[in-house]
């Protein structure tokens, strides 16, 4: 009998927003591009199902119905096809929401936490400083930072564990990237990618030839990142730290040069769509 691997990783997308293509890559021609909201399902032996982010859900429309949150919807209109929320995609695959033990939150932007309310039994794992920032802003500041507190479940506090508290080990790899060992695993580690958002998280996954560094929103385009093209400076308005954003990209490039067998994926990059385990 073929043994099931101890860990399995699949990517899915739940909805997208539209934005000017020049924002992600100022060298692009005019026009809009789609920022698909990717999330990952990780099946870990002896742990169970773990989600990394949750994409958009219809909750985004409810949360942006009134002002000032409605500005968010104007800036980045969201589109979600029927049956494409994380909950619905999982149920279609025979996985019920009650089977999702943990949801790891990369950062608190709406396109990453949009589905949280659909998982009333899951435990959350996130960075303490990211969470503290998300709940400390007033409504207007939240919209400016692309955070919609209405998407955070009311009982979040009682279901949340901070990564800094539960990590088995915290270390810095030889590219200067902070790594968090969790669930006792060596081949799935969370990483810190500050800049785009406060202490944003990504992960490093390695199983046989499948080697992925998932860098969430450390760039929106592999092409732009690879060619050293920075996004339009207007993004500074809602980024947490521009210097940290630049430094994180430099560390990723260093990692890539030392680990050429790894694929660097970004949540909203069109190339990442090749890794999806379902049709859009
Ligand atoms: Zn995003």
Instruction: Give 7-275's CATH code, choosing from 3.50.30.20, 3.55.50.30, 3.60.15.10, 3.30.2130.10.
Output: 3.60.15.10
Give the Å distance between the CA of 113 and the centre of ligand 1.
Answer: 10
Q: To which residue do tokens 């695959």 refer? A: 93
Give the Å distance between the CA of 171 and the centre of ligand 1.
Answer: 26
Give the Å distance between the CA of 267 and the centre of ligand 1.
Answer: 7
Average pLDDT over every residue of 143-171: 93
pLDDT band of residue 174 (cuts 50, 70, 90) is: very high
Give the Å distance between the CA of 4 and the centre of ligand 1.
Answer: 32
Residue whose C-alpha is closest to residue 151's, from 254, 41, 58, 226: 58
pLDDT at 80: 93
Give the Å distance between the CA of 106 and the centre of ligand 1.
Answer: 9
Give the Å distance between the CA of 17 and the centre of ligand 1.
Answer: 10
Cβ(110)–Cβ(63) under 8 Å? yes
Give the Å distance between the CA of 279 and the centre of ligand 1.
Answer: 20
Give the Å distance between the CA of 103 and the centre of ligand 1.
Answer: 16
Give the Å distance between the CA of 199 and the centre of ligand 1.
Answer: 14
pLDDT at 156: 97
Average pLDDT over every residue of 220-235: 92
pLDDT at 1: 60
Residue 31 pLDDT greater than 90, yes or no: no
pLDDT at 277: 92
Give the Å distance between the CA of 57 and the centre of ligand 1.
Answer: 14
State the number of CA atoms in the 13 A half-sphere of 264 facing the CB.
26
Residues 6+ apart with CB under 8 A from 164: 127, 128, 170
Residue 2 pLDDT greater than 70, yes or no: no
pLDDT at 63: 84
Residue 164 pLDDT greater than 70, yes or no: yes
Give the Å distance between the CA of 111 and the centre of ligand 1.
Answer: 5
Average pLDDT over every residue of 111-123: 97
Cβ(44)–Cβ(183) under 8 Å? yes
Average pLDDT over every residue of 38-67: 92
Average pLDDT over every residue of 119-125: 98
pLDDT at 89: 97
> Considering the chain, what is the average pLDDT of its residues?
93
User: Helix, strand or coil for residue 201?
Assistant: strand
pLDDT at 267: 97
Residue ranges in 122-277 assigned as alpha helix (H): 128-136, 139-144, 156-159, 163-166, 222-226, 242-258
Go through the chain and tell me how many residues it has: 280
Give the Å distance between the CA of 109 and the centre of ligand 1.
Answer: 6
Average pLDDT over every residue of 44-73: 88
pLDDT at 69: 77
What whole-number distance in Å separates Cα of residue 14 and Cα of residue 85?
5
Average pLDDT over every residue of 150-160: 95
* More confident position, 218 or 1: 218
């Amino acid at each position: 009998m073929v043994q099931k691997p101890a860990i399995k990783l699949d990517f899915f997308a739940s909805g997208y927003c539209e934005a000017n293509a020049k924002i992600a890559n100022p060298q692009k021609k005019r026009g809009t591009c789609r920022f698909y909201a990717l999330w990952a399902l990780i099946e870990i032996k002896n742990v169970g199902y773990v989600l990394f982010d949750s994409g958009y859900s219809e909750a985004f429309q409810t949360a942006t119905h009134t002002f000032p949150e409605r500005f968010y919807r104007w800036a980045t209109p969201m589109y979600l096809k029927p049956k494409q929320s994380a909950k619905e995609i999982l149920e279609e695959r025979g996985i019920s929401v009650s089977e999702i033990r943990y949801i790891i939150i990369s950062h608190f932007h709406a396109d990453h936490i949009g589905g949280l309310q659909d998982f009333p039994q899951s435990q959350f794992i996130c960075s303490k400083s990211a969470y503290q920032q998300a709940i400390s802003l007033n409504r207007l500041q939240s919209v400016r930072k692309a955070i919609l507190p209405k998407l955070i479940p009311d009982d979040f506090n009682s279901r949340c564990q901070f990564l800094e508290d539960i990590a088995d080990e915290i270390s810095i790899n030889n590219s200067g990237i902070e790594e968090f060992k969790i669930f006792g695993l060596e081949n799935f580690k969370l990483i810190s990618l500050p800049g785009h958002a406060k202490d944003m998280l990504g992960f490093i996954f390695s199983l046989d030839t499948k080697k992925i560094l998932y860098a969430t929103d450390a760039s929106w385009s592999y092409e732009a990142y690879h060619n050293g093209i920075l996004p339009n400076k207007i993004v500074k308005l809602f980024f947490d730290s521009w210097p940290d954003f630049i430094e994180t990209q430099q560390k990723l490039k260093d990692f890539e040069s030392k680990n050429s067998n790894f694929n660097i994926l970004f949540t909203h990059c069109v190339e990442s769509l090749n890794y999806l385990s379902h049709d859009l």
